[in-house]
Structures are given as C-alpha cells and as structure tokens.
Amino acid sequence: MRGAVFSSLCGALLLAQDVLAQQPVSVAGYSAPKWVLRRDGSSSYACKCYPGDYCWPNNGQFQKLNSTVGGNLRVNIPPGAPCYNTFKGPLGDVKTYDAAECAKVTANWYDEQWQIEQPAAGLWTYFTNDTCRPTTNPSDSCTLGYYPALVIMAKTTAHIQAGINFARDNNLRLIIRNTGHDFLGRSVGWGSLVINTHSFQDIKFTNAWRGACDYNGSAVTVGAGVQAFQVLKQANALNPPKVMVTGECGTVGVAGGLVQGGGHGPLTNFYGFLADTALEFKVITADGVLKTANAKINPDLFWALRGGGPAAFGVIVEATYKTFDDKPSSGVSFDLALSSNATLFWEAVRIFHGYSTHFVDNGLYRSTLPSALRRLVLSSHLHHRQPTTNHCRHHGRQHPAVCRHHGLDGLPMPASQPLLDALGS
Ligand SMILES: Cc1cc2nc3c(=O)[nH]c(=O)nc-3n(C[C@H](O)[C@H](O)[C@H](O)COP(=O)(O)OP(=O)(O)OC[C@H]3O[C@@H](n4cnc5c(N)ncnc54)[C@H](O)[C@@H]3O)c2cc1C
C-alpha cells in the first residue's frame, strides 16, 4: 500500500499534470527553462517544478528513471492512508482502505523504528501538516500534505546518482532521507523527490586506518543508512570493545544529518563532536559525481560536510570515523514535571543550567529537553564515564553497548538537592 510501485500509478499522475498544466514562463536572471513563476501578493518567485506544473516530467521520463534505478522508484502514499477509503494525492483519488494494515499503522504510529522504516515519513509528523494520521473513520480526508511525491529506495551508488541527475535536470525539489529524525522536517517536503538511503548498511572496522591524514588508529566506515545502535552493537562485540561518538539517541543515523550538523553525544566531552572524529567521506555532489573528501582530497568539501548543514553539499554514501577503546560509564535520567507554577519551574531550569559548567568540568555529558507545551517538563540525561551497577533502566530497548552510557547508579548528583530545594516538596 505505502510506496505503491510507480508504474501502476503514473498514468494518473500524467492526467493530473495535463489538467493543471501551466504555460512556460521566463524569469529574469535564471537561464534554466524550467523554473516556475509563482506569485504571492505583489511578490513573484521562481520556483522548482512540482506535480501539476507544466514542467513536471512525463510518464515516459518517470518510467525511464524507474528502470535506471532498478524498479526502486515509488509513488509516495502517506503511511496513514490504509485507514482511509481514499487518498487524495497528486495522482487523483486512490483507494487505500485496508483494515489489517490500518490496525498495524495505528499500533506502530509512535514507534520510532517503524517510522524510520517507512520510505518517506518524518518522525515529527507536524512537518507533513498531519493531513493523513491514522483514524477510526475511513471517510475522513487523507491528503499528501507536505509529504514527498516520489521516493527512490536507493540500493546502489548509481541509484543515488540517477536520482540527483533527474532532479537537477528537471528542476525538482530533492530531499535526502535517512531516518527521518530531522527536528526541522528537512527529510520530508511537499511535491519532492526523495532519495532514501536507509539500505546502505555496510559497517567495516579497522585497527589501523590508512588514509589522507596523520591518524593511523582504529576506525569504522559506515554506510549512509547505518544507525547508532547498529554500529555501537558491532563495536562492542570487538575484542577489545570499541565505541565511536554518536548522538544520544540510538536510532539517529551516523553518516547523514548528524555529522553534517556537528553531532554531539555522550562521548563528546572526551572526543569532541562526531564531525571532529570524521576521517573521510564518499559523497555524490550535485553534478552527480561520486567524490572522496578527506584532509587531502577535496578538503573544502571535507570541511563543509563536518558541520556545514545537512544535505547542503551532496549525498553522503559512506563515512569513516575514528573509534576509541570502550570504557565503563554510567548515567542518570530524570524528568521534572509540574502541572502549574511556571515561575518555580523555570527557576528550577535556571538552577539546573547553572550547573552546566560544573557537569562538563567533571566529565559529564548532559542533554536536556524543557517542554512547556502541555505541562512543565524538564527531561534531562546525564552521562559519566565511570562504573555503574545498573544499566539501561530507561533505554531498555537499546543494546547494552549503548545503554552502558545510560546506567542510573553510582553518579554524584550535585544538582539534585538545590533542584529539590527550589521545588519545595
Ligand atoms: C529523538 C532525537 C534525538 C536526537 N539526539 C541527538 C543527539 O544526541 N545529538 C545530536 O547531535 N543530534 C541529535 N538529534 C538530531 C539529529 O542528529 C538530527 O536531526 C540529524 O539531522 C538526524 O540525521 P538522520 O540522517 O538520522 O535523519 P534524517 O531526518 O533522515 O536526515 C536529517 C537531515 O540530513 C540530511 N541527510 C540525511 N542523510 C543524508 C546523506 N546521506 N547525505 C546528505 N544529507 C543527508 C537530510 O536531508 C536532512 O536534511 C536527535 C534527533 C532526534 C529526533
């Protein structure tokens, strides 16, 4: 149902294109013929080509792309669609109701890994405009919202290159999608073509990296789709066990958005950001060329990929990072929740933050999520590299190698008493 095979549906797509076709326009300053002029009040914009625009590729072009990518081009149907009689998308009305599939979608909707495995879903569904959530009323409306229009489930480097070339040549909005974690919704986008990199799952360790820099120590090369818990699990099984810098959340990818945003995690106090540990990337740039980027080859690109912003400079196919000897560590997690008294809540946040330097100076990593939307919650995790007797009480679904950073006991908690004092009882 989701991600229906493209060939069966693109006739309808062509129809929608015919109905909504616009006349070509020329826009001063742009030589590309396929920019689309859009107006908003008195302002005009030269925009990319979206479903229904005169320049939207035709059936034959999509068929050709589909065969170039080994049949892995899909029309994107939102994951909630099986709960609705009809999905009203750029293809027109498509019958989608499937009771068993709807039950599955409803049961899994808040399951992170399940969302990650959808072809083009975002974990933060409000970026899709929430126009097709699971429902018990099949006659409700399900529309595309800001979900992408098409997805390439890339299996090879050549598939990624074909997707980049097609998007560039046809002026389509291109989105790279790994896990869908992006806090700003950048792994979804209305009317876009998505390249899904999740199937790039190779993990290779070495004890003696030989590359274009002075570093000769241990390293790991990971494919674009590898998640933190996967690489940490394998690293922990090595003799001796190894670790690498990852985000705190085990399901975030390690070669996609994380490194391009810097990438902080429980080991950052010791080894820096994930970007600081990067040794090399294989990356496909907008010209469709696969490049190596390291300290000597394409050093500007290497610099840009280490914190320059996700999806800004190319599609990373694989990344190599330093690994480090594992050491025992521990952590604590606590939530502070108040149903009222915002002043007291924010005073608690202030006091807690006042200890930040103290935590860091004592080798602690801290991540905090204050939320005042529905109730006042300060959710915080502290990690320390010292032995613990209790592993992973709150992250039980993760592998012990990850959870070693999430134990609860044996940790000095200088902040806890002032925090409690501030909260009264
Ligand atoms: C629950 C949760 C916990 C988090 N914890 C941490 C944390 O501890 N530390 C931290 O630093 N960050 C954390 N983040 C933020 C996270 O690192 C970023 O959202 C990151 O961009 C996710 O990358 P991704 O590739 O897994 O996800 P995606 O949403 O798939 O991609 C994110 C961005 O990267 C781009 N991108 C993905 N793959 C590629 C690729 N192969 N080549 C080029 N561009 C690509 C996408 O286009 C998008 O713009 C967390 C996010 C969530 C939701």
Distance CA 36, CA 191 (A): 14
Q: Which amino acid is at 353?
A: H
Q: CB within 6 Å of ligand 1 — which residues? A: 123, 175-183, 186-187, 197, 224, 247-249, 252-253, 256-258, 260-261, 263-265, 310-311, 315-316, 367
Distance CA 345, CA 360 (A): 23
**Which pLDDT belongs to residue 91?**
77
Q: What's this model's pTM, rounded to 2 decimal places?
A: 0.83
Nearest to 85 by CA among 143, 128, 125, 130: 143
CA 341 – ligand 1 centroid, Å: 34
Q: Dihedral (C-alpha) 35, 36, 39, 40: value to the nearest 10 degrees?
A: -80
Q: How confident is the model at residue 383 (pLDDT cuts 50, 70, 90)?
A: low
Closest Cα to atom 37 of ligand 1: 256
Tell me what the mean pLDDT of segment 208-236 comes to: 94
Q: How far is CA 180 from the centre of its chain?
A: 4
Distance CA 146, CA 186 (A): 11
Our mutation pick for probing the ligand 1 site, out of 125, 181, 267, counting the most ligand atoms within 8 A of Cβ, is 181
Summarize pLDDT for 32-79 with one digit per residue, the tens. Answer: 557 899 998 999 999 999 999 999 999 999 999 999 999 999 999 999
Residue 390: count of CB within 10 angstroms of its CB: 14
Tell me what the mean pLDDT of segment 253-275 comes to: 93
Q: End-to-end alpha-carbon separation of the chain, Å?
A: 53
Distance CA 272, CA 228 (A): 16
Higher pLDDT, 131 or 342: 131
